[in-house]
């Protein structure tokens, strides 16, 4: 069993909230949410996404934090220990493996996209955006992604920064970083919102996002909306479980999870409300894919007074938001190498960084030289994204929720979750243990045409 003296803990519940929010808020909210929404037709996707956050995301997040805190180890060893303690099949450790692996795979492409953000800081600081036309914004983006050498440079830089932070230990600096940077990011998004409100297409964008049009909904877009809910909350990928394992015992898990989910969702919606008015006002296509934010926001910055300053600040804060996420993705892997293989934190970080860098090259090339290399019609990057967000995360989440709800002795679970009322506990068990897994299963069967 773990030796509690050896493991670090968050200094308070607030520290955990900040760290988990830092993990949740990142590219998923500002980059992925708008472009996925655009690709999947808007409002109906948003609605399914919101339902998934509330009905699947939050209850599963509670299960995940709980499992981490209960076991107080990295996800792989946590699941081994819990399965053993509860006399369950050792196959349950697969949940830990799948999560840790997913976190690592996501890290490999996340750092490439974060590299784009670094590139955009450079562009912003050097005043590339002032008076930018939508066409120019598009060519800036296209130029960037067709240059693999440059993408490798920024990808390497981002991995390096992440690994330095991780090697020094998750907690030092993270709390402070999140508590200052997150509000900063929100303020800049609000400034951008001011621009979007005046762009003349705000109502059109609002309709696009919130006026449900179910004719646009396909089986695949429902699967993507569910995947996005997992991705944006950093679920089932080791991150939340390992952060939970550092959570002090007296913090309330349900309340904590709710706060994180609300903050995360608010920032995603805000980002959508900023991006789409610009899309419509400039006559861009909502479905243009991963370049969407990079082709829209610079136009907005370019047209506003003080744009260079705001743009620089925004993209710098965006890097920090990505950083607080990326360090959470590799934490499970690093903690495992440290705790299981007794590696030093430095060495573990080095190996994980190197491996992530190498795998990331595949993503770099999938935007240029290797664009035509596809697996089932998906580029390398799209395949990794699909494999994690749409398959491994929902499956892992389903498994860990079932384990926490039905395969553990209920009393300790209820105590750990701090649910004084029996009804609350029963409600959670039904939602996390029955409704969420059933919904996930249905979405799966539906997406492969069975249901
Ligand atoms: N939630 C993050 C975002 O939206 C991404 C993220 C962080 C993540 N940690 C993760 C995704 C772990 C999956 C797994 O940007």
| Closest by CA position to 302, among listed 319, 322, 282 | 282
**Distance from residue 240's CA to the centre of ligand 1 (Å):** 9
Give the atom of ligand 1 at the shortest distance from the alpha carbon of 322: 15
361 CA to middle of ligand 1, Å?
20
20, 24, 331: residue to mutate for ligand 1 pocket, most atoms within 8 A of CB: 24
> Which one-letter DSSP state was computed for residue 215?
G
User: Separation of 237 CA from ligand 1 center, angstroms?
Assistant: 8
Query: For residue 167, what pLDDT is reported?
Result: 87
Q: Which residues contact 307 (CB under 8 A, 6 or more apart)?
A: 129, 130, 301
Q: Of all protein residues, whose CA lies closest to atom 8 belonging to ligand 1?
A: 234
The number of CA neighbours under 13 Å toward the Cβ of 201 is: 16
Rounded Cα distance between 193 and 328, Å, is 29
Going residue by residue through the chain (451 aa), what tens digit of pLDDT does each one get?
444 445 677 777 777 888 889 899 999 999 999 999 999 989 999 999 999 999 999 999 999 999 999 998 899 999 999 999 988 988 999 999 999 999 999 999 999 999 999 999 999 999 999 989 989 999 999 999 999 999 999 999 999 999 988 888 766 666 667 777 788 888 889 988 998 898 878 999 999 999 988 888 888 899 999 999 999 999 999 899 988 888 888 788 998 899 999 999 999 999 999 999 999 988 888 998 899 999 999 998 898 888 898 889 889 989 988 998 998 899 889 989 998 999 998 999 999 999 999 999 999 999 999 988 989 889 999 999 999 998 999 999 999 999 999 998 888 898 888 888 889 999 999 999 999 999 999 888 887 777 6
pLDDT of residue 451: 65
* 422 CA to centre of ligand 1 in angstroms: 32
Question: How far apart are the CA of 369 and the centre of ligand 1, in A?
Answer: 27
CA atoms of 156 and 24, how far apart (whole Å): 23
Residues 6+ apart with CB under 8 A from 141: 291, 294, 295
| C-alpha of residue 23 to centroid of ligand 1, in Å | 6
Q: Which atom of ligand 1 is nearest to the CA of 24?
A: 1
Q: What is the pTM of this model?
A: 0.91
Residues enclosing ligand 1, CB less than 6 A? 23-24, 26-29, 103, 106, 231-232, 234, 237, 239, 325, 328-329
Residue nearest to atom 13 of ligand 1 (CA): 234
Distance separating alpha carbons of residues 222 and 438, to the nearest angstrom: 14
For the record, the structure tokens of 122 come out as 């450079």
Pocket test for ligand 1, best of 174, 325, 326, 393 (most atoms within 8 A of CB): 325
Residue located nearest, by CA, to atom 10 of ligand 1: 234
Ligand 1 atom closest to the CA of 236, numbered from 1: 14
| Nearest atom (ligand 1) to Cα of 29 | 4
Q: How far is CA 292 from CA 43, 159, 213, in A?
A: 17, 23, 22
Name 63's Cβ contacts closer than 8 Å, sequence gap at least 6.
Answer: 400, 401, 403, 404, 405, 432
Q: Is 306 exposed, middle or buried (0-12, 13-18, 19+ CB in 10 A)?
A: exposed
Mutual orientation of helices 43-52 and 202-210 as an angle, nearest 10°?
A: 50
């Amino acid at each position: 069993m773990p030796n509690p003296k050896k493991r670090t803990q968050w200094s308070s519940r607030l520290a955990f909230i900040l760290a988990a929010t830092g993990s949740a808020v990142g590219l998923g909210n500002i980059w992925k949410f708008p472009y996925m929404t655009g690709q999947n037709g808007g409002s109906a996707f948003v609605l399914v996404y919101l339902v998934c956050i509330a009905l699947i995301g939050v209850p599963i997040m509670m299960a995940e934090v709980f499992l981490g805190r209960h076991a107080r180890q990295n996800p792989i060893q946590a699941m081994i220990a819990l399965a053993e303690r509860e006399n369950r099949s050792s196959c349950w450790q697969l949940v830990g493996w799948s999560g840790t692996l997913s976190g690592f795979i996501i890290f490999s492409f996340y750092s490439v996209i974060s590299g784009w953000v670094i590139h955009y800081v450079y562009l912003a600081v050097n005043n590339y955006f002032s008076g930018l036309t939508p066409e120019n914004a598009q060519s800036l983006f296209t130029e960037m992604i067709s240059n693999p050498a440059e993408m490798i440079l920024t990808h390497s830089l981002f991995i390096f920064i992440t690994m330095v932070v991780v090697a020094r230990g998750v907690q030092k600096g993270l709390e402070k970083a999140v508590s200052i940077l997150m509000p900063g990011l929100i303020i800049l998004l609000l400034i951008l919102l001011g621009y979007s409100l005046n762009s003349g297409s705000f109502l059109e964008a609002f309709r696009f996002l919130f006026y449900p049009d179910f004719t646009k909904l396909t089986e695949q877009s429902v699967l993507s909306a569910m995947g996005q809910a997992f991705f944006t909350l950093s679920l089932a990928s080791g991150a939340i479980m390992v952060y939970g394992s550092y959570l002090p015992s007296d913090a309330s898990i349900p309340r904590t999870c709710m706060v994180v989910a609300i903050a995360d969702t608010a920032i995603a919606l805000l980002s959508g409300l900023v991006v789409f008015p610009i899309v419509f006002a400039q006559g861009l296509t909502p479905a243009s894919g991963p370049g969407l934010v990079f082709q829209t926001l610079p136009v907005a910055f370019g047209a506003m007074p003080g744009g260079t300053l705001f743009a620089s600040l925004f993209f710098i804060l965006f890097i920090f938001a990505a950083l607080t996420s990326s360090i959470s993705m590799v934490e499970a892997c690093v903690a495992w190498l440290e705790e299981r293989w007794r590696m030093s934190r430095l060495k573990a970080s080095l190996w994980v960084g190197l491996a992530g860098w190498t795998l990331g090259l595949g993503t770099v090339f999938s935007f240029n030289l290797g664009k035509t290399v596809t697996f089932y019609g998906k580029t390398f990057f799209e395949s990794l994204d699909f494999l994690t967000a749409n398959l491994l995360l929902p499956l892992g989440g389903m498994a860990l929720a079932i384990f926490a709800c039905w395969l553990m002795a209920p009393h300790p679970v209820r105590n750990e979750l701090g649910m004084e009322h029996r009804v609350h506990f029963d409600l959670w068990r039904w939602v996390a243990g029955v409704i969420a897994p059933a919904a996930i299963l249905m979405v799966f069967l539906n997406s492969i045409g069975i249901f």
